[in-house]
């Protein structure tokens, strides 16, 4: 039985997340908390995408809720990483990065509300 790309990604995340937490042991507690929060967020995102892929097109209400969950989880993951990276960037690049987060979240929300996608 072949391993799907979804399973391979989960295996990679499951293997690399404990390594990230281990490397953060010397850092403040916030680094370990960040690594665990990102790991849990990624797991929830992968689960939501898997559920969305397996939900029949006829179940429009469930698909819409799952799309919203994917949007929220993706946005929180992007915002979490942006927050960590912006500590290292100059103000102009930080503003650019946060504007990208807002544009992606706003555009995703708009698409979720206005475009049916044929489903």
Q: Under 8 Å CB-to-CB from 92, ≥6 apart: which residues?
A: none
Distance, CA of 1 to CA of 34 (rounded, Å): 35
Rounded to two decimals, the pTM is 0.78
Domain boundaries, the chain: 5-114
CA-to-CA separations, 76 to 2, 29, 73, 110, in angstroms, rounded: 32, 20, 5, 17
Beta-carbon-side half-sphere exposure of residue 91 (alpha carbons within 13 Å): 0
> Is the Cβ–Cβ distance between 41 and 76 less than 8 Å?
yes
Angle at 41 between CA 6 and CA 118, to 5 degrees: 60
pLDDT tens over the chain, length 119 residues: 677 877 787 788 777 777 777 777 777 777 778 888 888 999 999 999 999 999 998 998 999 899 999 999 999 999 999 998 998 999 999 999 999 999 989 988 888 777 765 44
């Amino acid at each position: 039985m072949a391993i799907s790309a979804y399973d391979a990604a989960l295996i990679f995340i499951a293997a690399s997340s404990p390594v990230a937490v281990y490397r953060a042991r010397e850092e403040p507690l916030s680094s370990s908390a960040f690594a665990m929060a990102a790991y849990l967020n990624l797991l929830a995102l992968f689960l939501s995408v898997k559920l969305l892929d397996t939900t029949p097109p006829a179940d429009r209400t469930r698909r819409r809720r799952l799309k919203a969950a994917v949007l929220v989880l993706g946005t929180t993951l992007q915002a979490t990483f942006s927050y960590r990276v912006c500590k290292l960037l100059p103000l102009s690049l930080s503003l650019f990065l946060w504007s990208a987060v807002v544009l992606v979240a706003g555009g995703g929300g708009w698409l979720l509300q206005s475009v049916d996608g044929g489903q």
